[in-house]
Structure 1
């Protein structure tokens, strides 16, 4: 069996894999974590490279052994039980994960976070900075992603440029978190409209409970982003409850705050593109994971949270 050091040799910010599994049994066998599927004629085992994995979502018809959970914990892999298609996580309406237990994670980041968190004014400044980083990331990625360009998404198009510029202006003017949340919601709504127009999907309405492909893909992709955010916060030792924006409405809401750094950039446009192309759920998920790796999403999330931990008190 691999030792603990080997299992954590790959930094979380560099890991490439997220797994969504259904109708299988996850187990430990010969020092590896496998999942077992039962075909009509035989049972098949598939290896999970846990040292290069951040999150595992267990969907319908799954089970996991204690031995497998112990190995996943040793590798620092977060595990969540979800409904079909990766949504929702089975924990009412809250973001909950089975986090690996470790008393030896860094303390500097939670101490830095606490240095500003109890002061409402500083918390608002950090929330604004998160939104600015979110727009900077979108502008950077959309300006160079050729696949998005081929689908008609150009960051310097008038409608996109005006939406982002207006949002940046309103960020500065927001006097409290409620105003900032409303402003953020309006931006995302505008980006939905832009993406629907680019992909010629008329009369799109964002509804978490509808079954059309665009809405289903948005739900699924967002939960993948939540997995990355939860991993980032666990590794850095910051509890999910110390949010800067969503904290008044959701326990564990810092996961939402961190996930928002990448959702509009990497999930939103591809949910509409894949819906237009009649892609399968698996094809959409693969596109999201490819985007996470290609555009170093985890690196960006880690750096953003670490930066705010260091600088929050001085803003």
Structure 2
């Protein structure tokens, strides 16, 4: 079988790619011009193909290994690789990020240039953070008003408690003078959403704990890390380093990944974590559900659009002023 060229592998835009893989207890390798993973059993060895041209992220969990040749092909296809603990969540810390990104000097520069134009200005960076906050609420509204399955489970955007929480959120966001105030406001909204989700799914005595062993917390950790994978891929494709955050701390490694992932977590990960916990779903069933939700609601597309909007806002203003 003839090896595919890097141009062939990149024929599908990242924003349109459908697959995220979490693998455990297997060996990832290159064979006959394809990337495969091998599972070993007492009776036979089984090979499974990974469609890397249509893949965004591969997470390697417990008991995995990967060959140099496979990494070369994944890099050519622009696939991010992450090492995680069991269940696609980090092994040691609930919010740590470690991604192995393809090395390419041919990504666009306009988004990084646009980002740098505002990032060193405290007021402009705060304004960008507020744009992100508004975008996440817009996405929450769009998803919860459209998704019939979520509505059937009681996740109604027009619910009085949700609207009261959003009213407080908007007023405090508009009045915020620094990032720490935005983070506090965000945390208060998320706490209200947790309470609403727990009530809607009859989850008793829920407390958000990253190291907890109850299903709702486990699924939240799991789904959040999948969202981090999408965010890291988005930023890599656009050429914006993960350290230039607008919400989380400027010195926190990978902070911009958290900012971008937050755009979709409340709308998709949060409700499905509680719903799947109520149904006593397995990790695999939850993962399939959340990945399908990402695809149905075009979560990665939305991330790209939101980041591009913030990155190019200065350019757009200048172009508008320059027109006769």
**Normalising to structure 1: TM-score of the pair?**
0.97
SS in 1 for 2:177: coil
Q: How far apart in 1 are the matches of 2:211 and 2:128?
A: 32
8 Å contact kept, 1:126–1:312: no
Cα RMSD of the aligned pairs, angstroms, is 1.4
CA deviation profile, 1:67-117 (whole Å, cap 9, x unmatched): 000000000000000000111167895312000000100000000000000
Q: Structure 1 CA distance, aligned partners of 2:98 and 2:15?
A: 20
Counterparts of residues 30-45 of structure 1 (less than 5 Å):
30-45=32-47
Deviations 1:184-207 (A, max 9, x none): 011001100000000001110000
The aligned residue for residue 134 of structure 2 is 132
1:255-274 CA distances to partner (integer Å, 9 max, x unpaired)?
Answer: 00000000000100000000
Contact 1:240 1:253 in 2 (8 A): yes
How far does residue 161 in structure 1 lie from its aligned partner after superposition? 1.6
User: How far does the alpha carbon of each residue in 1:205-248 deviate from its partner, in whole angstroms, 9 at most, with x for none?
Assistant: 00000100000000000000000000000000000000001124
2: CA distance between counterparts of 1:280 and 1:92? 20
The equivalent of 2:290 in structure 1 is 288
CA distance in 1, matches of 2:281, 2:143: 23
* Aligned CA distance change for structure 1 residues 116 and 89 (closer, same or farther; 3 Å): farther
Deviation of 1:60 (Å) = 0.5
1:165 Cα deviation from its structure 2 partner: 2.2
The whole-number CA distance in structure 2 between the counterparts of 1:249 and 1:132 is: 24
- Matches of 1:92 and 1:263, distance apart in 2: 15
From 87, 106, 109, the counterpart of 1:107:
109
Q: What corresponds to 1:256 in structure 2?
A: 258
Match for 1:226 among 222, 228, 246?
Answer: 228
User: Are the equivalent residues in 2 in contact too, given 1:80–1:89 (CA < 8 A)?
Assistant: no
Which residue is 2:321 aligned to? none
Structure 2 residue ranges without an equivalent (≥5): 319-324
2:144 and 2:45 mapped to 1: Cα distance? 44
Are 1:94 and 2:80 matched, yes or no? Answer: no
Q: Contact 2:60–2:83 (CA<8 Å) still a contact in 1?
A: yes
Residue aligning to 1:206: 208
Distance in 2 (CA, whole Å) between partners of 1:183 and 1:190 is 11
Post-superposition CA distance 1:118-154 (Å, at most 9, x none): 0001000000110000001100110110000110111
Q: Deviation at 1:40?
A: 1.5
Which of 81, 84, 104 is 1:82 aligned to?
A: 84
Quote the offset at 1:164 in angstroms: 1.7
Match in the other structure for 2:173: 171
Runs of 4+ in 1 over 4 A off after TM superposition: 89-93, 312-315
Q: Aligned partners of 2:308, 2:298: CA distance in 1, in Å?
A: 16
1:63-74 equivalences under 5 Å are 63-74=65-76
Counterparts of 1:91 and 1:233, CA distance in 2:
22
Instruction: Kindly tell me the number of residue pairs found equivalent between the two proteins.
Output: 315
- The 3-state SS of whatever aligns with 2:28 is strand
Q: SS of 2:100's equivalent?
A: coil
The answer to whether the Cα contact below 8 Å between 1:241 and 1:247 also exists between their aligned partners in 2 is: no
Q: Once structures 1 and 2 are overlaid, which stretch shifts more, 257-266 or 161-170?
A: 161-170
Is the 2:90–2:96 contact (alpha carbons within 8 Å) kept by the matching residues of 1?
no
SS at 2:20's partner residue? strand
Which of residues 222, 236, 239 is equivalent to 2:238?
Answer: 236
What is aligned with 1:23? 25
